[in-house]
Each structure stands twice: as structure tokens, then as C-alpha cells.
Amino acid sequence: MSQPWLPLFILATSLLVAPLIFVLPERAWRARAVVNLSAAVLKLVLVALLVWGFYQGRDYSFGFTVVDGAAFFLQVDALGLMFAGLSALLWLATTVYAIGYLEDSPNRKRFFGFFSLCIASTVGIALAGNLFTFLLFYELLTLATYPLVVHRGHDKALQAGTIYLRYTLSGGLVLLLGVVALHALVGDIAFGQRERLADLGPEAHPMLTVLFLVLLLGLGVKAALVPLHGWLPRAMVAPAPVSALLHAVAVVKAGAFGIVRLVYDVYGISLVHELGLLMLLSVIATVTILYGSVKALSQQELKPRLAYSTVSQVSYIVLGISLFGPFGTIAGLVHLMHQGLMKVTLFYCAGNYAEELGIHRIDELDGAGRRMPMTSLAFTVGALGMIGLPPVAGFITKWYLGMGAVQAGMSWVIVVLMASSLLNAAYFLPILHRLWFRHGPAHGHGNWPEERNLGRFETSAWLLLPTAATTLFSILVGLLAGMTFSPLDLATFVATEEYLP
């Protein structure tokens, strides 16, 4: 039985909230907060309902023809569900965070409006059932994030916004060309109809290879694959919640998710393997991982360091899917969730430091663990997770990546993992050392750059609560990875579906 309305409702919760927010006056922050939060909670509930229904074996799909040969098609599968769940969860957390973060700052209406649109597009990307629909929301995401990136409105932000657009619009164009070409070749392919391309036979392989590269180029911009990553560190000028969302779910992840879709649901992993493109993917991912880490090491400011860390980490997903075998798949998919949780935590923390103490540079963090223990603890958890240490979520990824690498016969990937772990440690542990073991203003040496006492606790509760929640989640999904409904479980489910048809 097909129930088309639930995915539509889920899309609508954030899509329709945007005009509502635009209509509310700028000063009605209370009403806006209520609207935002209730929509976010509603979406989470609906997604939970969807997950439940999906496990019951219900089929949710919705579609109509837009033009001949291209349909708007929403469909729910395990992979999309994972991504939708992540975005719904993080939307709630980030909304709470943003309400606290943007207190008393101008243009909040605009911010929250586009913020909702941004999430709507992300959920759309998650639920998209074919490449056309995916493209639709993918481009919408670019548009919705631009006002968020330039939100501050100063020169640097505008510059970053311009660069962001240059990259993403060009990428979107390339993607559009690729998708159109695919349509011209075989028509509309719903995600999961892998046999369509495989049936074309070997004479179509050169064409398919070219198309794959074109599509990869288009998606790689958002996924920040080196050398298409230039926009990401610059986009750091955006407010912290935006960076958090941008890095954790929205933009970067949309690109990675697109690559996952491309490899598994459009081409099918066996076809990609047959075309010999997995090696290329893994090499790109490796270069990105190492380059991102090295660049992160040379950053002196907190957010750019985190940004380069994202460049590096998102490629774990690509690396995972490039390892031919169920473990690699699981690694890639599960990292989609894990990286989101951990990175969002780190960005929340960076935002907390900036808001409460005015800290932007790493060397200003000396002794901040004393002043802001909760935040610093959260940061520690996130950082350890990024290095890939148990029990934080990152370990699970690394474990499966390693297993997948061996399974795929690419043992050299393990060396990459080791190097990446060391590099991650090299740029995160000094921060932790500064936080906890150095003496700073909290010990009576010097002053914080710009201290504001935002709340009864170490900082405003609006900021602290989401941080704590995502921290807890990042630990729990790692520690209790074996539980049903955990990301690992979902990823395993997807992978087994993929490999045992």
C-alpha cells in the first residue's frame, strides 16, 4: 500500500514554515521560536513515524510528471531515511542553538526563513526518488544557503558568498548537464533501478564512464573533494549554527549523499566496479583526506581548522563507498551520520567559545576548559571521535573502513587510515591540551578576548543544551552501535539490501 502523504508532510513541515517565518515581524522572536521549534519537533515525529512505517514494510512514494521523461518523485528507502533522520534531528538541535546564538542580532527573520528552506531542501534530497528530483533540491539548497553564508553582510562574508556561489553553481550546472545526458541516454531512472544502466551492455561503457565523471564533478563540489573544496573554508564566516549545519548535514553531506546515490542507486556498485571507477574514487578520497588534514594542521583559527577537518572527514564517506564490499558500504553510510553528529558538536563548541568568550584563534583557548567545562568536554568528545577513538562514533567508521579495505583487497587504505588518525590527533590534541592543561585567563593569566556572561551556566542554556545533546548522541551511537535502529544497524540494513538482492 502506498501512502504518498507522509513524505510530503515531512517536506512541508520545513518548506511551509519558511513563508510563515517571513510573514512574522522581525520583533516577534517568541512566536518565531515557537513556530520553528514546533515544526522541528513535528518533523522529527513524522520522520520517526516514517521509520516505523518503513520497518513495517510500508511503501511511501509520491510522484507526478513534470515534463515528458522527467518526473518529480519522492520515495522512501533506508538510505534516504537515514539522511532524513539525521537532518531532522540536527535541525531541531541547531534550531535551538540558533535561537540562542542569534539572540539580539539583526535579520533573524531572514536567517530562520532560509534556515528552514535549507532543511527542506536537505530533506528533499534525502527523500528524492530520482536524479531529477535530487537535482531540484540540490540546487534549491545552494540558493537557500547563500543568504545564510552572507548573513553577516560584511565584506569577508560577501566575498565568501561569491566564492561559494561560483563553486556551487558551476557544480550544479555540471551536474545538470550530467543528469540531462543520462536522461537523454536512458530516460528517467528511479533510484534503485540499477539494472537500467547495467543492461546497456559494454558498448555503452565509455559513455557511462564519462557521464559518471561529469556527475562526480558536479557532486564533488558540494562534497568538497580536493581540488573542489575551496569554498568550504571560506564559508566559515557564516554564523556558527550555519557552519554547523553546512558541515554536518546540509551542503557537504548533500554532495556526499549524492555520490552515494550515484554509485549505489543509479549506476549500481557492480557497474561502477566494472567500469574501474572505484579505484579513482578511492584515490580522490585518499588525497582529500590527507590534504584536508595537512591543511587543517596549518590553520591558526578554530573554525577554519574544523572546516579543513570536514574536507578530510567527508571523504571517509567517499572512501567507504569506493571499497567494493559490504563493509566499505556500511562504513561510508554510517559515517554519513556519525560525521554529522560529531562535526555539529564541534561547531557548536566553536560557536560557544566565540559567543561566550570571543575566542576565534586556537591560541586563545588556553585554559578554557576551566571556564567552560561542559563545552570543552563536548569538544573533547567530538575531537576524539574525529580521530577515530572509541567509544565515540568515529571509531565505528574507521573500523568498518579498515574491514572494508581488507575485504576489497586494498590494504593500502589502512595506511591512509593510520596516517589520517595521526594527523587528526596532531591537530586536535593540541587543542585539547590547551583546553585542559594550559593555564589561561581562567587561572588568572590575561583576559578573554571578549567575555560575555550569557547565562547562569557557563553560557546560555540555548547554546549548551544542543551541544550536550549532540555530544551524548555521538557517544551513544558509537557505544551502542550494536542496537537496533542505531545508524550502524540502518547502514547494515542498507548494505545487506544492496548486496543481497
Partner 1 sequence: MSLLLPIAVLWPLLVLLRSGLVQAMEQGGMRRHEPRRELLDGWWASAPLPALILALWPGELSFALESWLLGGLWQYDAARRPWLMFGALLWFLAGCYARGYLAEEQRCAEAGDESAFRRLLGFSLFWPLTLAGNLLLILAEDIPSFYLGFITMTLAAYGLVVHTGNHDARRGGLAYIVMALCGEALILGGLLWSAGSAEALTLSELRAAIAEAEQGLWMATLLWLGFGVKAGVIVFHVWLPLAHPVAPTPASAVLSGVMVKAGVLGWLYTLPLGDAEAGLARLGEAIIAAGLAGAFVAALLGVVQRHPKAVLAYSSVSQLGMLASLVGVGLVTPGLWPALLAPVTLFAGHHGMTKGALFLGVGISEHPPRLPAWLIVTLLALPALSLGGALTSGLIAKGFIKEVLKEGGHSTLVSWLSVAAVGSTLLVARALWRQWHRRGEPALHWRSPMLLAWLFAVLAAAGVPLWLPIGEPGVPWPPLKELPGLLWPAGLGVILAGLVLLTAKAGKGEWEKFSRLPAGDLWWVYLVLARWAAAGLTTVGGALQLGSHRVRASLVVKERRARAWLDDLTHYERVFTHLAVPLMIGVALLLLLGFWLG
Partner 2 sequence: MIERLGLSPLTIQAESMVAVWVVLGLPLLLGAVGGLVRPARGWPVAMAGLLPLLALAWLWRDVDSEAGRSWMIEIGSLALYWRINGLTLILIALTYLIGLASALYTPAYLREDPQREPRGQAWFWPLLGILISSLSLIWLAVDLLSLYFGLELMGLSAVGLMLLTGKVDALVAGLRYLLLALVGSLAFLLGVSLLLGAWGRLDLAGLARAVEPGAPLWVAVALLSAGLLLKAAAFPLHAWLAPVHASAWIPISALHAGLVVKASFFIALQLWLVLVPEATVAAWAIGGMAGAAVIWGGVMAWRAAKLKDVLAWSTVSQLGYLLLAFPLLIGTDSAVAALAWEGTWLQLAAHGLAKAAMFLAAGNLILATGEIRVAGLAGASRRFPLSLLSFGMAAISLVGLPPSMGFTAKWLLLHAALTGGHWPWLAVLGIGTLLSAAYVFRVFRYSFIEDAPEYEFHPVPWGMDAIALLLALSALLLGLAMEGPLDLLRGAGEGS
Name the site residues for partner 2 (rule: CB under 8 A). Answer: 22, 64-70, 72, 106-107, 109-110, 135-137, 139-140, 142-143, 146-147, 150-154, 157-158, 161-162, 165, 169-170, 172-173, 176-177, 180-181, 183-184
Examine residue 166 and tell whether it contacts partner 1 (CB under 8 A). no
* Member of 65, 105, 298, 447 binding partner 1 (CB under 8 A): 298
Examine residue 407 and tell whether it contacts partner 1 (CB under 8 A). yes
Site size for partner 1 (CB under 8 A):
42
Shortest distance (Å) from residue 166 CB to partner 2 = 9
Q: Which is nearer to partner 1, 223 or 392 (CB)?
A: 392
What gap in Å lies between CA 23 and CA 32, rounded to an integer? 10
Comparing C-alpha atoms, which of 208, 407, 204, 227 is closest to residue 311?
227
Examine residue 320 and tell whether it contacts partner 1 (CB under 8 A). no
Q: Which is nearer to partner 1, 190 or 432 (CB)?
A: 432
Examine residue 483 and tell whether it contacts partner 1 (CB under 8 A). yes
Examine residue 415 and tell whether it contacts partner 1 (CB under 8 A). yes
What gap in Å lies between CA 363 and CA 210, rounded to an integer? 47
Comparing C-alpha atoms, which of 124, 209, 118 is closest to residue 168?
118
* DSSP 8-state symbol, 200: T
Shortest distance (Å) from residue 414 CB to partner 1 = 5
Shortest distance (Å) from residue 291 CB to partner 1 = 11
DSSP-based helix, strand, coil % in the chain, nearest 5? 75, 5, 20
Examine residue 481 and tell whether it contacts partner 1 (CB under 8 A). yes
Examine residue 192 and tell whether it contacts partner 1 (CB under 8 A). no
What gap in Å lies between CA 247 and CA 243, rounded to an integer? 6
213 binds, among partner 2, partner 1, none (CB under 5 to 8 A by kind): none
* Member of 422, 445, 447, 450 binding partner 1 (CB under 8 A): 422
Q: Which is nearer to partner 2, 180 or 419 (CB)?
A: 180
| Consecutive H or E run containing 360 | none
Examine residue 421 and tell whether it contacts partner 1 (CB under 8 A). yes
Examine residue 399 and tell whether it contacts partner 1 (CB under 8 A). yes
Residue type, 156: K
Examine residue 173 and tell whether it contacts partner 1 (CB under 8 A). no
Task: Judge residue 310's burial from the number of C-beta atoms within 10 Å of its C-beta, 0-12 exposed, 13-18 middle, 19 or more buried.
Answer: buried
Examine residue 482 and tell whether it contacts partner 1 (CB under 8 A). yes
305 binds, among partner 1, partner 2, none (CB under 5 to 8 A by kind): none
107 binds, among partner 2, partner 1, none (CB under 5 to 8 A by kind): partner 2
What gap in Å lies between CA 429 and CA 485, rounded to an integer? 32
Examine residue 398 and tell whether it contacts partner 1 (CB under 8 A). yes
Q: Which is nearer to partner 1, 4 or 390 (CB)?
A: 390
How far the first Cα of the chain sits from its last, in Å, is 21
Q: Which residue has the cell 562535526?
A: 343
Comparing C-alpha atoms, which of 136, 282, 131 is closest to residue 197?
131
Within 235-301, residue ranges assigned H as helices are: 240-248, 251-260, 269-275, 277-297
146 binds, among partner 2, partner 1, none (CB under 5 to 8 A by kind): partner 2
Q: Which is nearer to partner 1, 38 or 411 (CB)?
A: 411
Query: HSE on the CB side for 66, CA within 13 Å?
Result: 11
* DSSP 8-state symbol, 76: -
Q: Which residue has the cell 549523499?
A: 257
Shortest distance (Å) from residue 423 CB to partner 1 = 10
Examine residue 370 and tell whether it contacts partner 1 (CB under 8 A). yes
Examine residue 292 and tell whether it contacts partner 1 (CB under 8 A). no
What gap in Å lies between CA 333 and CA 330, rounded to an integer? 5
* Member of 268, 388, 441, 466 binding partner 1 (CB under 8 A): 388
Shortest distance (Å) from residue 344 CB to partner 2 = 25
| Consecutive H or E run containing 300 | none
What gap in Å lies between CA 124 and CA 405, rounded to an integer? 32
What gap in Å lies between CA 381 and CA 310, rounded to an integer? 16
Residues 107-136 within binding reach of partner 1 (CB under 8 A):
none
Is there a contact between 452 and 356 (Cβ–Cβ < 8 Å)? yes
Shortest distance (Å) from residue 121 CB to partner 2 = 10
Examine residue 235 and tell whether it contacts partner 1 (CB under 8 A). no
Q: Which is nearer to partner 1, 184 or 415 (CB)?
A: 415
DSSP 163-200: HHHHHHHHHHHHHHHHHHHHHHHH---BTT-THHHHTT
298 binds, among partner 1, partner 2, none (CB under 5 to 8 A by kind): partner 1
What gap in Å lies between CA 275 and CA 270, rounded to an integer? 9
* Member of 80, 478, 495, 498 binding partner 1 (CB under 8 A): 478
What gap in Å lies between CA 31 and CA 24, rounded to an integer? 8
- What lies within 8 Å, CB to CB, of 223 at 6+ separation is 252, 255, 256, 258, 259, 314, 315, 317, 318
Examine residue 418 and tell whether it contacts partner 1 (CB under 8 A). yes
Annotate 126-157 with three-state secondary structure: HHECEHHHHHHHHHHHHHHHHHHHCCCCCHHH
Write out the residues near partner 1 by the rule CB under 8 A.
Answer: 298, 327, 370, 373, 384, 388-391, 395-396, 398-399, 401-407, 411, 414-415, 417-419, 421-422, 425, 429, 436-437, 439, 443, 478-483, 486, 488
